[in-house]
Chain A
Amino acid sequence: MKQWFKSGAPWIWLNGGAVALCMVMVLGLLGLIAVRGFSHFWPAEIVEFRVGNDSIGQGQQVVGQHVRSQTIPVQVARDAGIAVPPDLGEDELVTRHLIKQGNRDVTGRDFAWYPEIQMTEWMAPPDVIMLERREWGDFYGFPRRLLEDGEVVAEGDGLWDALQERVARSNALFREIRRIERRDVGIISERMEELRLQERGLQRDPDIDEAVLADRLDAMHAEREVLESEFRVLRAELDELHAANRRDTLVAMIAGGEEVEISVGDIVRATKNNDMSLASKLREYMYRFWHFVSGEPREANTEGGIFPAIFGTVTMVLLMSLIVSPFGVLAAIYLREYAKQGPLLKLIRISVYNLAGVPSIVYGVFGLGFFVYTLGGSLDELFYSDRLPSPTFGSPALIWASLTLALLTLPVVIVSTEEGLARIPSSVRQGSLALGATKSETLWKVVVPLATPAMMTGMILAIARAAGEVAPLMLVGVVKLAPTLPVDGTFPFVHLDRQIMHLGFHIYDVGFQSPNVEAARPLVYATALILVILIIVLNMTAISVRNRLRERYRAASD
């Protein structure tokens, strides 16, 4: 034993253990996110059981989905205010289960812990349904009747098919309503706003002729009236659609035996989780996954999809790479090829390298102060003074977020491009110069192409960093809920002054600012999963591009 200690082997093993521990942590973390994130979409079994002391009439029926379990000492359970039977000793353990029982509108509590003691066997009744709703979260219960304008239209066996059919109809109506609200009404209100600004601009114009002014104002009034009548037509159309959407009602029994009415117009999707084959569960899984990725958030972001966040993140990162790549590469070329090498340059180089290690929040502060308030404020005064005091560029916006992140990732691009340039053997350069090429010809036709893979590496690193960065964005352009996407069909198509949603900020906001953390938790895991996947995919694409470029230029460098 002593000999063994003296040989130093134990220390080697301990060092090895440190590596193993790191690996376990990384893989465990990725696994945790993957398992929790992916299981969010699985149509899990809905269980039914009774808890409490039935003999004294305190029993309770519970229907819902199992979330997680916990084994804790009785003392801890009592401290946490969990009802533990008084006959249990201090030194015993209790297991409790967190059940998602939904029906927030009826019970007020959509998640509840139940102690395992006095719990009956869990059963999975085949006729229990789960409804995903537009309001009040999920619903669990047993369907009874389907009403159309108050008349019973389906009951018993035909109920399920009738329900599915009517949910499909109401979803179609809902899409129509959204289309009108978003597009048609949006266009009208935008035009109205434009008119208002024009009118204000005219009235403030000191040199305008009275008659011309009156003419222009009349024309505007006429146009406004046309718009208003168009709006009234749309309004009527919307009212009609809403009324049609309210036609059907589902009567269902919830745990405890109470019957409740649910408007079919509120239902997004109805599933019978306990009565599904594996194939249909998989189909349901894909459906839910797709809707998560492509849908819009609901209920203060705690439900629905995250498409605007994905879109915002990608747009912002793309815009950022458009800004950062030319400047980063030019700066690196300057530092390596043109600047006079000396102590000053060495100092500059170290400073630039170090900026990569400066906390990102510092860039956010700079972005807010300089870009948003100083630069954006002056832009507003110069070009958008009609709209003041409501700011156009003088508030957090997509362009400022991209610029700030470009500044943040600039050192990364510079460093890796410079490294790439430094690796190119001087013989290549000298060869080119000896053949009579000018310095710029050598640079652009020989050196830069050879260094392209290094530049791509820099871009990859920059994109990966930018996609995951949140702290500076909280200050310069990201919001929890953006009403519109930054790119759409109205002129000028890319709206640099709009605020965006961002995956990372979405995680922070939903996980830490939402009133119902338990309901939001699975969604946060799923969002985190998407963000991790997005970052890995961005990395992989860029890496494959880099490898292809490397292959192409290998011949040149040999």
Chain B
Amino acid sequence: MNDISQSPERRQIAPGGSRSLLPSPDQRERLRKRRAFKDHFSRYGIGIAGIGVVAALAMIFVYLFSEVAPMFRSASVSPQASYNAPGVDADDELVHLALERYNILGSSFSRSGRATFFEIADGDVRASFELPTPDGAEVSAVGVGAPRSQSIAYGFDNGQVALGVVEYEMTFPDNQRHIEPKLTQPLGDEPITLDEQGRALSVIGVQVSDRGSYIAGATDDGRLLVASFDTRQNLMTGEVTVEQTVVELPGIEGEPQQILIDGRFRHLYVSDERGYIHHFDISNLNNVEYVEAVQVTDSGYVSSMAYLNGTVSVIAGTSEGELSQWIPVRDSHNAYSLVRIRDFASYNGAIRHIQPEYIRRGFLVGDDRGNVGIHYTTSGRDLFQSSLSDQAIRMTAISPSNNLALITDQGNQLQVAEVSNPHPEISFSALWNKVWYEGRSEPRHVWQASSGSNEFEPKMSLMPLTVGTLKAAFYAMLFATPLALMGAVYTAYFMTPRLRGKVKPTIEIMEALPTVILGFLAGLWLAPFIEGSLPAVFSILIFMPLAMLATAYAWSRLPENLRNAIPDGWEAVLLLPTILLVGWLSVAMSPYLEIWLFDGSMRQWLTNIGINYDQRNALVVGIAMGFAVIPTIFSIAEDAVFNVPRHLTQGSLALGATRWQTVMGVVLPTASPGMFSAVMMGFGRAVGETMIVLMATGNSPIMNFNIFEGMRTLSANIAVELPETAVGSSHFRVLFLAALVLLGFTFVINTAAEIVRQRLRKRYSSL
């Protein structure tokens, strides 16, 4: 105030400002600076905070994406070191190569029966063992069991066999890990006779599991023998006795090349030189059956085959470089037959070696042109294929932790290669297409991501979850959309303002209700209630609208003066007694209806006509989630209808249209985009809702639209499984992908709805 009251003249009269109340120029300068500084500070502070917040929100996208992206990367193999395969002399041959899980020791087995353990880093030999060889006999065949069993069998030219199993003993002297390798012989120190006739074994196959050991062999005169070994330890003396049963298999045409036995000792496969795999059923050794011969290739032969982890799938590689996966499929008569379910990228040369991974369904392949590849069955991915040597590949090995590989070529040169292949089991087709899983008779969409067993094949198809999500949302929308839209039209257009002032807050309370409460009521109260009085649900559905119409008609027949006592816009209140009465009657009549129409139990009746009934089903979810969605749709649609410009409706009424004609002809066409966006928003909410579906369904990932069965949705699946998965595993990332899918889906829907709404707002303002 002082500044203004003092005129400029007076300021000039008193230079120096000794008596003036005005701030001096440099004071003003300082003030100006301070204000400018504050202004800048505020501008940049707010700018940083604002951009930071927006960036933080954007980071949700970026982060989810970064967690998902590694799943779709290919494998990489980078050679680290190279040296001559230790323990294999120039005149000897490498027959088996393996790694232990800490990637410290490797083991090589030579044809002469020597096992050598060496440091992977430089190839220094740590220890070496010799398997016993019968006097005067020569090794004539070698067989290797499943990688996890770490077993190897040698067959001799006198019909005898020897079995060796690798064991690692871990100790921690001075807090340092020390691994001591051992070669044990579970069947005793002496070779065991497989062929009583003493002929040379040309091929042998072995399998060792917790149920015992089996060794099969082909003699040079064309007989096939299989022996089961049951080892028992005497509890008193600690002495191990081996019980041996040898059976001769039916003969095959052709010359056996390789023999495989599964870990449950049910199937035995023999490949021959003409491209066939012969399939034997050895589940009952007293009655061994020849099942079939399947042709893998017609122009070459099966040059290598191997069991994958779990010993169900066989990977067959041919001399033409083709790779295919075969599984035994059970038909309706419980008979198994081998079926080719998948092919992989082919190679230039003949497949020389197939090395399965330890705990996954992947495998390494080497061909005779020096190419090495990595493939994965469930996802059908060819993850890596490249030439690593100019000679034929002799042998490969992969670490149990899947991050290191050993590759040897014909010249006995061993390469150590680091492998990066963390998520081979995921591919677009594994997530969304039907996949033929082991043990199934046809390709299916299955979600079963984990199990207690190491031999389990994870089934991660997002299809059942997506279908479940859409099913839940569909039934919720079926329940909510008519109620919410009709209610919105009535509230916005017909209802008296006084009542409207009560209805809108009530609907807002409905919106604020935590979904966990709706879910718990749906699961613990509604589901048993519906199960107990199923006919009531249907009679309410049928009789409620009829009773409303009847009430309305009765009202219209009432005397004029009685009707005029209550003005228009109170219809909803008049209907309350009708609704309560119909509801009560339906529930009370439900047991009688069950007796009259459904032979006493509607649930049983449904089961009899072939409809499954779960207590927590889509009907319950539809009602509960519909309840959660109604307020969302209602508020937005009500806004849209209420904001239709008054002059439009008044014009229509003035031209003689009835109130209903005005609604149908003027209000709805104008407000329909808004109502559409309301429905979209409601759908977006139904898709992402977690607690209600978690609590009101059985959470079984099935694929159908039966209203009486449950479902598992993407969101409920995340809530159930994410806390229990290993961080960074493929399962973990798939759940992140599910979250990303949900995010993307709702984001697109909401954006579309928002754009429609903004357009509508613009249109209203121009009308």
Which A residues are closer than 8 A to B by beta carbons? 1, 4, 7-27, 29-30, 32-33, 70-76, 79, 90-93, 326-328, 330-331, 333-335, 337-339, 348, 350-355, 357-366, 368-370, 373, 407, 410-411, 414, 438-441, 443-444, 464-465, 467-471, 474-475, 504-505, 507-508, 511-512, 517, 521, 524, 528, 531-532, 535-536, 539
B750 touches A357 (CB 8 A): yes
Q: Which of B144-152, B213-221, B504-512 is found at the contact surface with chain A?
A: B504-512
The list of the 3 closest CB pairs from A to B, nearest first, reads: A359-B688, A334-B50, A8-B660
Cα(A335)–Cα(B54), bound, Å = 9
Per-residue 0/1 for B527-557: is the Cβ within 8 Å of any A Cβ (1 yes, 0 no)?
Answer: 0000010000000000011001101110110
Query: Of all chain B residues, which has the CB nearest A94?
Result: B591
- Contact of B512 with A339 in the complex, beta carbons under 8 Å: no
A8 and B653 alpha carbons, distance in the complex (Å)? 14
Known: A350-B751, A508-B516. A7 touches B660 (CB 8 A): yes
Whole-angstrom CA separation of A362 from B663 in the bound complex = 40
A439 & B39 in contact (Cβ 8 Å cutoff): yes
Chain B, residues 645-671, CB within 8 Å of chain A (1/0): the string is 000000000000011110110000000
B525 neighbours in A (Cβ, 8 Å): 32
Residues of B within 8 A of A1 (CB): 553
**A352-B54, A360-B690, A438-B38 are contacts. A334–B594 as well, Cβ < 8 Å?**
no
Question: Is B36 on the interface with A (CB-CB < 8 A)?
Answer: yes
Q: Are A362 and B60 in contact (CB under 8 A)?
A: yes
Q: Which of B56, B594, B747 contacts A73 (CB 8 A)?
A: B594
- CB-nearest residue of chain A relative to B38? A440
Identify which of residues 654-704 in chain B touch chain A, using a CB-to-CB cut-off of 8 Å. Answer: 658-661, 663-664, 681, 684-685, 687-691, 694-695
Say whether A440 contacts B513, CB under 8 Å.
no
Residues of chain B with a CB closer than 8 A to A10's CB? 549, 552-553
In contact, B521 and A358 (Cβ under 8 angstroms): no
B634 within 8 A of A: yes
Which of B199-207, B406-414, B734-742 is the contact stretch?
A: B734-742
Q: Are B553 and A535 in contact, with the CB atoms below 8 A? A: no
Is B571 in contact with chain A by the CB < 8 A criterion?
Answer: yes
A20, A90, A368: the one within 8 Å of B576 (CB): A20
Tell me whether A407 and B50 are in contact in the complex, defined as CB-CB below 8 angstroms, given that A16-B490, A350-B754 are known contacts: no
Kindly state the separation between the CA atoms of A68 and B52 in the bound complex, as whole angstroms. 56
CB distance from B681 to the nearest CB of A (A): 6
A507 contacts across to B, CB distance below 8 A: 516-517, 520
The answer to whether A331 and B38 touch across the interface, beta carbons within 8 angstroms, is no
Bitwise interface map of B from 746 to 761 toward A, beta carbon under 8 Å scored 1, else 0: 1100110011000000
Please tell me which one of the listed residues B43, B486, B739, B755 contacts residue A15 in the complex, with CB atoms under 8 A apart: B486
Chain B neighbourhood of A93, CB < 8 A:
591-592, 595
Residues of A within 8 Å of B548, CB to CB, are: 13-14, 17
In the complex, residue of chain A having the shortest beta-carbon distance to the beta carbon of B578: A17
Stretch of B158-166, B253-261, B715-723 that contacts chain A? B715-723
Are A13 and B524 in contact, with the CB atoms below 8 A? Answer: no
Contact A508 B512 (CB under 8 A): no
A464, B512: Cβ atoms under 8 Å? yes
Q: Please state if A511 and B551 are interface contacts (CB–CB under 8 Å).
A: no
Bound Cα distance from A271 to B447, whole angstroms: 53
- In the complex, the chain B residue whose C-beta lies closest to that of A370 is B63
Interface size classification for chain B: 35 or more
Cβ of B17 < 8 Å from any Cβ of A?
no
Apart from A13-B571, A76-B601, A361-B688, what 8 extra A-B contacts exist at CB < 8 Å?
A: A12-B571, A13-B575, A15-B487, A90-B599, A334-B53, A470-B514, A504-B514, A524-B520
- Among B532, B574, B742, the residue within 8 A (CB) of A361 is B742
**Assuming A73-B595, A334-B49, A359-B689, is B487 touching A22 (CB within 8 A)?**
yes
Assess A531 versus B591: contact at CB under 8 Å? Given A75-B600, A330-B46.
Answer: no
B312 in the interface, Cβ–Cβ < 8 Å?
no
How far is the CB of B331 from the nearest CB of chain A, in Å?
36
Contact B510 A26 (CB under 8 A): yes
Complexed CA–CA distance, A76 and B592 (Å): 12
Taking a contact as CB atoms under 8 Å apart, the answer to whether A359 and B687 are in contact is yes
B572 interface residue per 8 A CB criterion: yes
Cβ A17 vs Cβ B572 within 8 A:
yes
Find chain A residues with CB under 8 A from B575 CB. Answer: 13, 16-17, 20
A355-B57, A438-B39 known; A75+B515 contact, CB < 8 A: no
On B, residues with C-beta under 8 Å from A are 35-36, 38-39, 41-43, 45-47, 49-54, 56-60, 63-64, 67, 482-484, 486-487, 489-491, 494-495, 503, 506-507, 509-510, 512-517, 519-521, 523-525, 532, 544-545, 548-549, 551-553, 555-556, 571-576, 578-580, 583, 591-592, 594-595, 599-601, 603-604, 627, 630, 634, 658-661, 663-664, 681, 684-685, 687-691, 694-695, 715, 718-719, 722-723, 727, 735-736, 739, 742-743, 746-747, 750-751, 754-755
Assess A535 versus B512: contact at CB under 8 Å? Given A13-B548, A475-B722. Answer: yes
**A14 and B545 form a contact (CB under 8 A):** yes
Task: Identify 17 residue pairs between A and B in the complex whose beta-carbon atoms are under 8 Å apart, listed by A's number.
Answer: A8-B658, A17-B545, A20-B576, A29-B513, A30-B509, A32-B521, A327-B49, A330-B53, A354-B747, A365-B736, A369-B63, A407-B56, A440-B38, A471-B694, A508-B519, A528-B521, A536-B509
Bound complex: CA A439 to CA B54 (Å): 22
B524 to A: closest C-beta gap in Å:
6
- Interfacial chain B residues near A16, Cβ < 8 Å: 490, 494-495, 571-572, 574-575
Which residues in B have their C-beta under 8 angstroms from that of A350?
751, 754-755
Q: How far is the CA of A79 from the CA of B430 in the complex (A)?
A: 42
Which residues of B sit under 8 angstroms from A444, Cβ to Cβ? Answer: 42
Q: In the complex, which residue of chain A has the Cβ closest to the Cβ of B626? A: A25
A328, B53: Cβ atoms under 8 Å? Answer: yes
* Contact A438-B742, Cβ < 8 Å, known A18-B486, A339-B50, A358-B688: no
Residue of A nearest to B600 (CB): A75
Q: Are B39 and A9 in contact (CB under 8 A)?
A: no
Which one of A15, A361, A407, A475 lies within 8 Å of B60 (CB-CB)? A407
Known: A9-B556, A90-B600, A470-B514. A439 touches B520 (CB 8 A): no
| Contacting pair A19 B572 (CB below 8 A) | yes
The answer, among A4, A339, A464, for a CB contact under 8 Å with B553, is: A4
Partner of B601, one of A75, A328, A414: A75
Q: Is the beta-carbon distance between B517 and A33 smaller than 8 angstroms?
A: yes
Given contacts A12-B660, A524-B524, contact A369 B736 (CB under 8 A): yes
Known A-B contacts A73-B594, A438-B35, A438-B38; A20 and B579 likewise in contact (beta carbons under 8 Å): yes
Given contacts A10-B549, A20-B573, A354-B751, contact A365 B739 (CB under 8 A): yes
Smallest Cβ-Cβ distance to A72: which chain B residue? B591
Contact of A338 among B47, B520, B552, B578 (CB under 8 A): B47
Residue of A15, A369, A531 most packed against chain B (CB within 10 A): A15
In the assembled complex, the Cα of A471 lies from the Cα of B736 at a distance in Å of 15
Cβ of B507: which chain A residues have Cβ within 8 Å of it?
22, 26
Task: Tell me how far the C-beta of A359 lies from the nearest C-beta in chain B, rounded to whole angstroms.
Answer: 2
Query: Measured between C-beta atoms, what is the minimum distance from B579 to chain A in Å?
Result: 5
A328, A470, A471 — which one has the most chain B CB atoms within 10 A of its CB?
Answer: A471
Known A-B contacts A32-B521, A79-B604; the reply to A4 vs B556 at CB < 8 A is yes
Residues of A within 8 A of B67 (CB): 369
Q: Which residues of B contact A524 (CB under 8 A)?
A: 520, 524
- The residue in B36, B51, B578 that gathers the most chain A C-beta atoms within 10 A of its C-beta is B51
A13 and B552 form a contact (CB under 8 A) = yes
Q: A18-B483, A361-B715 are in contact. Are A366 and B627 (CB under 8 A)?
A: no
Residues in B whose Cβ lies below 8 Å from that of A351: 57-58, 747, 751
Q: Which of A17, A27, A505, A511 contacts B506 (CB 8 A)?
A: A27
- Cα A440 to Cα B45 in complex, Å, equals 11
> Would A15 and B490 be within 8 Å (CB), given that A357-B746, A369-B67, A443-B42 are in contact?
yes
Q: How far is the CB of B734 from chain A (nearest CB, A)?
A: 12
Which of A15, A79, A471 lies in contact with B691, CB distance below 8 A?
A471
A17 in contact with B39 (CB, 8 Å): no
A474 and chain B: residue at smallest CB distance: B719
